[in-house]
Amino acid sequence: MQPSCLSCDFRPDRFFCDMPTEALQAFDEIKSLAFYPRSSVLFAEGRPVRGVYILCDGRAKLSICSDSGRRMTLRVAGPGEVLGLGATLSNTPYEITAELLDNSQVVFVRRKELLRFLRERPEICIQIVRMLSQDLHGAYERVRSISLIRSHRPQMVFRRRAMVV
């Protein structure tokens, strides 16, 4: 396990984790690091928000429940991704469910601590805005690709035959 973000070898490659040293030291003080087994649910759609989860390693399936009750996979998140950020910042229930696909190290930061951390470090807020913007653009792309797939499917056309009597 990586006890400190400062000593993490992957930090420079990860958008949120690549913070200045002073900010990382403060972040280390508010985070908790835990190991979760495969199939653990980090948070569930509709449940009250507690905070954000950052995947140090492993992958998580992000899914949502359709109106008909079927579970639909939105995408798979990978190492370095911050999960539950939108719900945490807006203080609304989690919009999706995050279930681990691998045994994983995961950082958790409580909402209250994250907000205090961000208030004290406005430069990190810009990184947060970029992350949310990337999430939004990713969602646009997924909707666009689904739309294109559906528009290229052959349409079944039913024609009535004229009945000759």
Give the start-to-end residue ranges of the domains of the chain.
5-152
CATH architecture of the domain with range 5-152: Sandwich (2.60)
Distances (CA, A) of 153 to 58, 75, 147: 35, 22, 10
In this prediction, residue 165 carries a pLDDT of 42
pTM of structure: 0.79
23-69 pLDDT, tens digit per residue, is 888 988 999 999 999 999 999 999 999 999 999 999 999 999 988 88
Low-confidence ranges of the chain (pLDDT < 70): 1-2, 10-12, 15-16, 146-165
| pLDDT mean across residues, the chain | 84
Rounded CA-CA distance 49/44 in Å is: 9
Strands (DSSP E) found in 2-147: 31-36, 41-43, 51-55, 60-65, 71-77, 82-83, 97-100, 104-110
